[in-house]
Amino acid sequence: MVADQPAQDYGAASKMSEHLHGRRILTMAGGTAISRGTGLVRVLVLAWVLGFSPLADAYNLANTVPNMLFDLVLGGILSATFIPVFVERLAIDGERRAWRSISSVVSAALVLLVIASALAWCFAPFIIDGFTFLQHNTSAASRVLLVKERAASTLFLRWFVPQIFFYGVIGISTALLNIRHKFAAGAWAPVVNNIICIAVLIWFHLVEPNPTLSRAGQGDDITWLALGTTLGVAVQLIVMFPSLARSDLGRLRFRMDLKDPAVRAVGRLGSWTLGVVVSNQLSLYVVLAFAFGTGGKGPVSAYTYGWSFMQMPYAVVVVSVLSVLTPQLAALATAQDFTALTQRLSMGLRQSLVIILPCTVILVVLAQPIVGILLNHNHATGSLMVGRVLAILAIGLPGFTVFQLGVRGLQSLQRAREVFALYALENLLTIAFCLLIGRHSIAGLTGAISLAYSISALVAMALLAHHQVVIFPTLWSKYIRRSLTASLAMGIVMAAAYATVNWNEGVLLILRTLVAGVAGLGAYAMVAFLGPRNARPSANLRG
């Protein structure tokens, strides 16, 4: 027993655990950083090839739907229930019996994915019509344009539908690897997907330099673009096979037993999670439908690109932390060790916010030049729609981070009903704010999202505190205070440096942005690392 071990042995074990935890986060962060970096390049190439055009909106809308449907059918349930249930079965039943149960869960999930993919292919035209019905056309030309946009979206969607199945198998594979404490494959596999899509987009640009909606129903080029996009997801799954083969998953079999206790546990927890997913997708549907209805030059693409940029720091930092923490949180919750659970979740919150806060300030202050350089051919002469979307979404990034950490803590406690209530609140707030301030403005739509997540984050922490997991004090820990102070100083210096000159195009815009960024980072370093010695962040984040 731990109580009988010498104190130094326990301390050594604790340090070893933290060392392994840190290594796993670095592995995840490295893979996720490269993955998101190549994903960013993919967004840049997509904007370069398709621009902010009706064809770009058709592509981006159709490429978003498989993710929505995957989340609706399995994705949300998978992330919320599979790892906690698998860890619980392994702890209670042992390897032999647990893998029979895990096989039943995986088999049922695969059958569900096949059925969902088939239905989505059949109903693709109706799905697209549901997203575009808010577009009001007052002229014959605009009505013709809408018909073409719907046709192109439907064509893309039918080629993208297999992604539902591939994403499902990728999610299942990642969960199986995570319970074996293997995180690298899931983090690095998307890199291959991004590289393939970048190559396909560049090829498409070479053969179709000026693509239009009128060409969407003619020739094979559009078809190959759609097929290549889905091929990237398929290869993402294939490159995970070697890691799966080395992970002692040999007892996994196709086994349909809907009465298995693990299947029932997933069903019990998943019933609430399904409600979460439905509310999430309803909220996203409202945002996309309103965005499409605002008209203008590529509003759906502007939202898609802005969201992708905002997600970069979250995906690299927070997703890496959460992926490593989730099996640990599940094990601690199963053991009802609420003290250790609080410590682990608080550590994850500190590790996340210390990085997220300065990233938030950078994105808010430099949103317009970043978008101008990367997506608008080095021009930032006006207020770019994507820049507005990015800046407003970035304001809500800390709240989004805290919200996601709170949800993961509740999921580890298997509080599915409360997770549903929390998501329902967040999505109701999003829809309500969209109706109040976002019906005719893309800025209002993105502001509704940031505001809803920030309010819901506070509620998430209150729910955790109700279950003896108190992380409120972590928000005002010395590390986060120091990072917040340094970030605010960085923002002031960065904004002042950027405003000193009026270079809005070409190399001078890049130089202006770099100077502002370097000045801001210098201010951050001075405040964060040159302050009083007892307030300096250290490698040990337990204090």
Q: Would you say residue 190 lies in a domain?
A: yes
Q: Would you say residue 165 lies in a domain?
A: yes
pLDDT at 216: 58
pLDDT at 21: 53
Average pLDDT over residues 50-71: 84
Q: Would you say residue 130 lies in a domain?
A: yes
Q: Would you say residue 516 lies in a domain?
A: no
Q: Could you give the number of structural domains in the chain?
A: 1
**What's the pLDDT tens digit per position in 358-379?**
999 999 999 999 999 888 878 8
Q: Which of 473, 101, 474, 458 is nearest to 252 (CA)?
A: 101
135-144, 155-164, 202-211, 281-290: which range is least confident on average?
Answer: 135-144
Strand partners, 505: 379
Q: Would you say residue 195 lies in a domain?
A: yes
Contact indicator for 321, 404 with CB cutoff of 8 Å: no
Contact indicator for 58, 124 with CB cutoff of 8 Å: no
In this prediction, residue 79 has a pLDDT band, given cuts at 50, 70 and 90, of low
Q: Would you say residue 71 lies in a domain?
A: yes
119-123, 181-185, 405-409, 509-513: which range is least confident on average?
Answer: 181-185
Task: Decide if pLDDT at 337 tops 70.
Answer: yes
230-244, 264-278, 405-419: which range is least confident on average?
Answer: 264-278
**What's the pLDDT tens digit per position in 242-268?**
888 887 776 777 888 788 877 887 777
* Residue 465 to residues 337, 456, 461, 473, Cα–Cα distance (Å): 14, 14, 6, 11
Mean pLDDT of the chain: 82
Q: DSSP letter for 210, please.
A: S
Biggest alpha carbon distance in the chain?
A: 82
pLDDT at 541: 37
Task: Decide if pLDDT at 231 tops 90.
Answer: yes
Task: Decide if pLDDT at 530 tops 60.
Answer: yes
217-221, 306-310, 327-331, 450-454: which range is least confident on average?
Answer: 217-221
Task: Decide if pLDDT at 139 tops 80.
Answer: no
Task: Decide if pLDDT at 486 tops 60.
Answer: yes
8-22, 93-107, 147-161: which range is least confident on average?
Answer: 8-22
Task: Decide if pLDDT at 9 tops 70.
Answer: no
pLDDT at 535: 43
Highest mean pLDDT among 21-30, 184-193, 347-356: 347-356
**What's the pLDDT tens digit per position in 436-462?**
887 778 888 999 999 999 999 999 999
Q: Would you say residue 117 lies in a domain?
A: yes
The total of other beta-carbon atoms located within 10 Å of residue 96's CB is 8
Q: Would you say residue 321 lies in a domain?
A: no
In this prediction, residue 93 has a pLDDT band, given cuts at 50, 70 and 90, of confident
pLDDT at 399: 94
pLDDT at 542: 39
Q: Which domain holds residue 97?
A: 35-274
Q: What is the full DSSP assignment across 445-495?
A: HHHHHHHHHHHHHHHHHHHHHHTT---GGGGGSHHHHHHHHHHHHHHHHHH
pLDDT at 540: 42
